[in-house]
Homo-oligomer: A and B are copies of this chain.
């Protein structure tokens, strides 16, 4: 028998932390709904060959088999790997599949959010898990997707994360057309190889990246300008002039610059300080074709992006059906793992209970049960004491869990605020606690 112990990479929170996680997810969800995104969940599994369409991620996938898959049904051994199932490693690939599968039943443009766990067999480290929550929004349309949706995404994320008791965030934006157009304008072929090297800037610095680029066949002048572009960053549309001054010209570059200016201008108008154009952001070799996003948490920049995404034109495509989209994902577990690791979030109590109803004697328990029922009818979370112990012990039950009130059934009932010690007569049918005591309050730890 395996020892009972934690599994590395599969985090489990204690109830007080789960309470915080639920509050965070609930607030993010309410923001997504304020923007009109409809809820969606997809199954946890996808056919393995669908998951492996992007060869880069193959090593991360968990493959499933039924312990006794021997009953001749489809999906068993003889049909081979084609029908094997794997756990999804993100929510974008399943969403693209869902759109293709249900296109006839959906209204386009289709705005959906999706908050689910995903699994990756990566080596665990701080902020990197094998099982974790992602909270995604995407907007897809049939045939073509207006660029204004690329400007909307940062506003949603700004509201969603800005409404949480966490440090402020900065959303870094770039546009793949700017990078590809600029490289093309420089006469560089194989923009993907260049992107791959530029992605290493944070890790190895510009000198090493320049070496790699020239090693790849770029001239020193080309490499220098690739790096000059990557150095450009601005909190407003001023970045565009700086790009132009680098003297490269290409129609795709112009198109990308125009789109990126729109994203930045919209953010400056609606949420000043939220967005920064950063022309180094590339999002690796992912499926993005337009705007790309990464999000840093102030004071925790070294942990990397907590919310990333971009525009994709070719992900949900089957024959002549094309559904371009734009989306972004918040790494909920990553965010919480980082903040929990520093005790940066706190809940005012570890249970939902607002009132513990004391029990005078086991014979009188039905009376306490009835008082608790009356409180619940008014929306007040209440539980009944586990035993008719001395009141001191019953009060300690509440104290240890942070329950603020203890109710005493009597000739006249009374309720005690165990923080102040104040006790008053009360009627369970009409009493209400102060609004701020009704539910646990989640806040940044001071």
| Bound CA span A29–B33, Å | 19
B residues near A13, Cβ cutoff 8 Å: 41
Give which listed residue, B12, B85, B101, B107, contacts A401 with CB less than 8 A.
Answer: B107
B-contact bits for A394-428, CB 8 A (1 contact / 0 none)? 00000011000000000000000000000000000
Give which listed residue, B53, B141, B376, B380, contacts A386 with CB less than 8 A.
Answer: B141
Contact residues of A: prevailing secondary structure: mixed
The reply on A82 being an interface residue by CB < 8 A is yes
Q: Is the CB of B383 within 8 A of A15?
A: no
Q: Is the CB of B61 within 8 A of A62?
A: no
Contact A62:B64 (CB < 8 A) given known A14-B105, A36-B381, A38-B15? yes
Q: Is the CB of A34 within 8 A of B401?
A: no
The reply on A391 being an interface residue by CB < 8 A is no
B-contact bits for A144-173, CB 8 A (1 contact / 0 none)? 001010001001000100000000000000
Contact A1:B50 (CB < 8 A) given known A10-B45, A45-B7, A351-B111? yes
Q: Interface size bucket, A side? A: 35 or more
B-contact bits for A345-369, CB 8 A (1 contact / 0 none)? 0000011110000000010011001
A388 to chain B, nearest CB (A): 10
Q: Which A residues from 310 to 369 make CB contacts under 8 A with B?
A: 318, 350-353, 362, 365-366, 369
Q: Which A residues from 21 to 43 make CB contacts under 8 A with B?
A: 21-22, 33-43
Residue of B nearest to A29 (CB): B22
B residues near A22, Cβ cutoff 8 Å: 39
Residue of B nearest to A67 (CB): B61
| Bound CA span A293–B420, Å | 42
Give which listed residue, B34, B59, B85, contacts A382 with CB less than 8 A.
Answer: B34
The reply on A387 being an interface residue by CB < 8 A is yes
Q: Which A residues from 95 to 116 make CB contacts under 8 A with B?
A: 97-98, 100-102, 105-107, 109, 111-112
Q: Is the CB of B62 within 8 A of A131?
A: no
| Bound CA span A143–B353, Å | 24
Give which listed residue, B15, B36, B101, contacts A6 with CB less than 8 A.
Answer: B101
A395 to chain B, nearest CB (A): 14
B residues near A19, Cβ cutoff 8 Å: 38-39
Q: Is the CB of A18 within 8 A of B40?
A: yes
A394 to chain B, nearest CB (A): 13
| Bound CA span A69–B64, Å | 13
The reply on A245 being an interface residue by CB < 8 A is no
B residues near A67, Cβ cutoff 8 Å: 48, 58-63, 86, 121
Give which listed residue, B41, B68, B146, contacts A12 with CB less than 8 A.
Answer: B41
Give the top 3 A-B pairs by smallest Cβ distance, nearest first.
Answer: A36-B383, A36-B353, A66-B121
- Interface residues of chain A, those whose CB is within 8 Å of chain B, are 1-2, 4-7, 10-16, 18-19, 21-22, 33-45, 47-50, 53, 58-69, 71, 73, 82-83, 85-87, 97-98, 100-102, 105-107, 109, 111-112, 117, 119, 121, 123, 131, 141, 146, 148, 152, 155, 159, 266, 269-270, 318, 350-353, 362, 365-366, 369-370, 373, 376, 379-384, 386-387, 400-401
Q: List 29 A–B pairs whose Cβ atoms lie within 8 Å, in order of A's numbering.
A: A1-B53, A2-B47, A2-B83, A10-B43, A18-B41, A22-B39, A33-B352, A33-B381, A34-B376, A36-B352, A36-B381, A36-B382, A36-B383, A43-B131, A44-B131, A48-B67, A58-B67, A62-B65, A62-B67, A65-B65, A73-B123, A109-B386, A146-B387, A148-B362, A155-B369, A266-B366, A266-B369, A269-B366, A269-B370
